[in-house]
Amino acid sequence: MIPEDLIMKNLKWLLETSEPGAEMHHLHVIAAPKSAMGPLGVVDPEKLETTVYALLYVQDAELSVPQFIAGVFMKAALDHKQEQKTILFAAMSIEVFGVESDDELARKLSRERRLSEHPDVVELTVAYGACRDGRRWRGVRYLTGSRAGQTEDANVLIGPVSSVEENFAGYGWMLRGLVGIGAEVTVR
């Protein structure tokens, strides 16, 4: 179990450090040495360590964005396995484009991966986090548009994984797997 204030501190950082046009993604991982795990999974907060991965994709003919991000997740899993640390919490922020209207143009541009061309487009930072004990969080910060600077603080998600959560840019299942809930991230 990780203290809620530490989780909220990491999620707040993920939401507040993005800038319009930066296209920067971050992955935060909180882990502890396996020897620090108590019999009920409780870890001394002083034994927790945070690792931050800054993800900046550079166009590559051989590597797509999803492949690049999957590689970062695998690196994080491998790094912690080699150091004999258990990942207890992971959170990722991504910068995306969104349109509040559900008009035909928005659907067409979304299918063509050109949503940024919509006249009512806004840029957002979305953060998603998961803890080994099953807790999950999601938060949003508006970078542009009429709500620029406003933040929908990360809130805990309750119940089964929703479609919005599942579709966290296609990476939600990997993030949950990284902390050991749902699909596992296999490291050989």
pLDDT in tens, 10-26: 999 999 888 888 777 89
Which of residues 111 and 76 earns the better pLDDT score? 76
CB of 87 closer than 8 Å to CB of 179: yes
Q: Which amino acid is at 10?
A: N
For residues 81-101, give the mean pLDDT.
Answer: 90
Neighbouring CB atoms inside 10 A of 134's CB total: 11
CB of 18 closer than 8 Å to CB of 67: no
For residues 159-176, give the mean pLDDT.
Answer: 77
Tokens 């548009």 sit at which residue?
145
Rounded mean pLDDT of the chain?
A: 85
CB of 85 closer than 8 Å to CB of 47: no
Q: In this predicted model, what pLDDT tens digit does every residue of 125-157 receive, in sequence order?
A: 999 999 998 889 999 999 998 899 999 888 888
pLDDT of residue 184: 42
For residues 76-90, give the mean pLDDT.
Answer: 94
Q: Which amino acid is at 135?
A: R
Q: What is the pTM of this model?
A: 0.84
Residue 49 has pLDDT above 60, yes or no: yes
Q: Which amino acid is at 121?
A: V
DSSP 8-class letter at 43? B
Chain Cα centroid distance, residue 96: 12
Which of residues 51 and 42 earns the better pLDDT score? 51
